[in-house]
Each structure stands twice: as structure tokens, then as C-alpha cells.
Amino acid sequence: MATTKTPVILSGPGNMGKRLGAQILKSEDFTLVPWALTKTSTEPIDIEGGIRLRCVPLSERPSFNLRANLPPNAIVLDFTKADSTAIVKNIDYYATNGVKKMVIGTTGMETVMPEVSRIITGYGMDAVIEANFCAQMVGLGFVIEKFAKENEGGMKGDTIQVFESHQPPKPDPSGTAIKLSKSFGKLGIEGCPFDGDDIKQNPGKYRDSFVMIRNKLIQLEVLGVPVEHIGGHGWHTYIITQRAVSGTAFGQLHRTISSFMKNSPVFDGFTKTEYEEAKDHKKGTLIERKSKDKNVLFKTILRYDPDSYGKTPVLQLVVTHNMSGRDMYKPGVMQALRFQRDMVETGRISSMVDVLRLDKV
């Protein structure tokens, strides 16, 4: 007996939305409705897999009866651009027209979450809201945040350098790095959390602590970003240097991250590289996980600070997570859609931590 597929409505079908639309068409349990919600575009959108979507822009919403066109059990998949005002209007539009389930991948929603929460709970909707659907990154952020809550102030006086590389047109500092810096700030690491607006307005102030790399030549020749991913990548490295040696949190953080990378099922199918060179302080201890397509890399190194050679040795913890392309987000989005499809509770906002059940491990 054929299984009825759950309908998905694309809202903001840009590059990412189109990729996800193609993934949905390939799935056995979801399908796309034949129209999409857009800001201004009225041109039909062709989705790989053989479907053309009619576009319903903002100007046509008053005459477009969403409630009448809403299939039973439909889930809205919203990947509109980061505009907090727009996303609130979108969610209100969904809510007042009968939508009950959503998966939202818009970034920069922190300031409007109280209003978003009021709408969702008030209308008894369910939503997964997440800025990053990469399971490995969500897991890393979760274990560091949990560690920070349990060891608040434990790394006070330690310092950090952040190096982040994204596609040249991206003007803003990495949202992922800014979010992670909140946990580092709770640990007491100097300069954290970082303020994204301040970094944009005063880049010289952060010349040594938060380095935004947008130069194509440096990305290609120095970092080694594959040329095919220059237009869509997020490469991050955090170098934490131990300055205060009285506590144990520095070493515990290394062990926490190492345990996550060694044991978490989110790395199933990844190639594994590990070494410990006690005699080679420059090489240090490394754990590396790389996806089979080589587009996702996670790495942690515990080593001595090169500037401390010949002096009193100072430890450094280096954490790297590199994402090339956007395909690594597809599995997480599909998991989120299935999570929403099966959700029976109403009025709840979930994250990928809930979807991946990380807090149950």
C-alpha cells in the first residue's frame, strides 16, 4: 500500500531552498506543493526532479487564500534571508492562515524570539528553529555549551583567536563563531562573547582576536579552500591559549571535545585520524573526522604554543570545523521535517538539539 507523502511548502526558495526542494522530491515520505512563497519574485521556479513551482510574492498574499490552498498536515520550510522583521511577519502569516508545523532555517532571530515564541505558542503551532542544520556542528556547539554551564568561569584569563573564512560577498562575521563565543565567554575566556556589530564597525579592534577572511586569493592559496566552494563555504579555527594554569577546565574542555568527536554517532561514516605524539610537542595530540566527500572536516589539536618554545611551555587547544558547499545541511533538514511530521505536542519550539536527541545522550 502506498504511503501518503507529507506536503512541504517552500518559503524563500533561494539557492538553499531549491537544493532542499530537490532533496524533498527524492524522499519517500515528503512532496512539494506546486507553489512557493517569495518576497518579490513572480517567476516560476524549476526544482531539480521535475517540478515547476508557481511563486506567490508578498504583493499577492492578500488575494492568495493560503488557508484554502493549504494541504492537510503541510509543513512550511522557511529559509528566507536573515531579516528578523520579515520572519516575524512570515510566521504571523502562517499562524493566522492555519499552518501548524514549520521548520525555519533563518539566522539572526535572537532579538525577535520573544515575539516569535508568542505567536507560535499562542496559535498552538510546532516549529523547529535552527540557524545551522549540520548535525556535527550542532553537536559540537551543544557539548561546549553544556561544559560551559557546568564550569562557569573555569577558564578565566585564557585567550582566544578566531579565524573564519566565508564566501567573499558575506559582509557579516560568522554567526556560528559568534554563537560559540557565548559559551567561551561563560567559561571566562578573554574577549568573549564577541559582538558581531562591533566587529563590523571596528574591524581594527579585532585584528588579532577575530579574523574575517574574505580575500579569494588567501582562501585559495593559503587556506586551501577548493575553488568550487569559494562561493559557499564556512571554515573556522579557534585557538585557545592557556594563560591561567591554576584550574583544570582547560584540559577538561579538550577531553570533552575529544570524547564527542570519538564517540558521537553524528560522525558515523566519517574517516577517522588520530595520533598522540608525546615526544613532538609541536605536533601535539590530534583527532580528526572527515566526511567521505571531504566537504566536512572537524579537528582538535592539543599542542604547545609555538611562541612558548624555549620558554615556560604554554598549552593551546585548537578547534577546527570546515564546511564546504551546502549539501551537509540536507540530512539535518530532512531529520527536522520528520521530527515535525511526527510531533504530536502543540505550541512547542524545538531545535536541532531536540531533533538529534543530544540532551538524551
Per-residue pLDDT of the chain (361 residues; tens, 9 = 90+): 346 899 999 998 888 889 999 999 999 999 999 999 988 888 999 998 778 999 998 899 989 999 999 999 999 999 876 666 778 888 999 999 999 999 998 776 777 889 999 999 999 999 999 988 999 999 999 999 999 999 999 999 999 999 999 998 888 899 899 999 999 999 999 999 999 889 999 988 998 999 999 999 999 999 999 999 999 999 999 999 998 776 799 999 999 999 999 999 999 999 999 886 555 556 688 999 999 999 999 999 999 888 777 777 789 999 999 999 988 899 999 999 999 999 888 889 999 999 999 876 5
Residue 127, helix vs strand vs coil: strand
Q: pLDDT > 70: what percent of the chain?
A: 94
For residue 240, count CB atoms less than 10 angstroms from its CB and return exposed for 0-12, middle for 13-18, buried for 19 or more: buried
C-alpha 76/C-alpha 79 separation (Å) is: 10
Decide: pTM greater than 0.85: yes
Using the structure block, give the residue that is written with the C-alpha cell 570519538. Answer: 262
At 248, list the grid cell: 583544570
pLDDT of residue 119: 94
C-alpha cell of 47? 526544482
Q: Provide the 8-state DSSP code for 345.
A: -
User: For residue 2, what pLDDT is reported?
Assistant: 46
Q: What is d(CA 188, CA 159) in angstroms, rounded to the nearest whole number? A: 9
Nearest in space to 343 (alpha carbons), one of 87, 94, 127: 127
Q: Which of 183, 179, 196 is nearest to 153 (CA)?
A: 183
Q: Are 295 and 327 in contact (CB under 8 A)?
A: yes
Whether residue 9 contacts residue 74, with contact meaning beta carbons closer than 8 Å, is answered with yes
Beta strands in 167-219 (DSSP E): 210-213
Distance CA 314, CA 306 (A): 9
Strand, helix or coil for residue 313: coil
Q: Domain segments of the chain: what residues?
A: 6-129+328-360, 135-325
Size of the chain in residues: 361
Q: What is the mean pLDDT of the chain?
A: 90
**Separation of CA 225 from chain center:** 19
Its CATH architecture, for the domain 6-129+328-360, is 3-Layer(aba) Sandwich (3.40)
- Determine the pLDDT at residue 82: 60
What is the rounded distance in angstroms from the CA atom of residue 116 to the CA atom of residue 91?
7
pLDDT at 13: 83
Residue 32: what are its φ and ψ, rounded to 5°? -100, 140
List all residues 6 or more positions away from 345 whose beta carbon is below 8 Å from its beta carbon. 126
